[in-house]
Amino acid sequence: MLLVDTYKQKIEQDDDLKRRIAQSRPHKRLTSRRVFLDLLRKDDILSHGAVTNEFLIKCHLEALGIDNKKKDVHLDSDRRLSLKEALGSMGNDAALACLSDFSPLMFSYFQQLFAQVTNPPIDPFREQIVMSLRCPVGPESNLLDPSADLESRLILEQPVLSLVDMEVIKRTMFKGWHSKTIDITFPVRYGVKGLVPGLDRICCEACAAALDGYQILVLSDRAASKDNVPISSLLAVGAVHQCLIRHRLRMKVIFYEILMSLILTFMKYSIDDTM
What's 232's domain CATH number?
A: 3.20.20.70
The whole-model pTM stands at: 0.70
Q: What is the pLDDT of residue 203?
A: 94
Q: Taking 70 as the threshold, does the pLDDT of residue 154 lie above it?
A: yes
For residue 107, tell me if it sits in a domain: no
**Hey, which of 18-22, 31-35, 238-242 has the most confident mean pLDDT?**
238-242
For residue 23, tell me if it sits in a domain: no
For residue 19, tell me if it sits in a domain: no
Residue-averaged pLDDT of the chain? 75
**249: exposed, middle or buried (C-beta count within 10 Å: 0-12, 13-18, 19+)?**
middle
Range of the domain at 198: 29-73+120-268
For residue 110, tell me if it sits in a domain: no
Q: What is the tens place of the pLDDT at every residue in 188-212? A: 999 999 999 999 999 999 999 999 9
pLDDT top residue among 110 and 146: 110
Q: What is the tens place of the pLDDT at every residue in 112-137? A: 666 667 777 777 788 888 888 888 88
The answer for residues whose C-beta is within 8 angstroms of residue 134's C-beta and 6 or more apart is: 155, 156, 157, 158
Q: What are the beta bridge partners of residue 110? A: none
Q: What is the tens place of the pLDDT at every residue in 44-63? A: 776 666 666 666 666 666 65
For residue 148, tell me if it sits in a domain: yes
For residue 18, tell me if it sits in a domain: no
* Domain count for the chain: 1
pLDDT band at 225 (very low <50, low <70, confident <90, very high): confident
pLDDT band at 269 (very low <50, low <70, confident <90, very high): very low
Asked which of 3-17, 71-85, 101-115 is least confident by mean pLDDT, the reply is 71-85
Q: What sign has the CA pseudo-torsion 166, 171, 173, 178?
A: positive
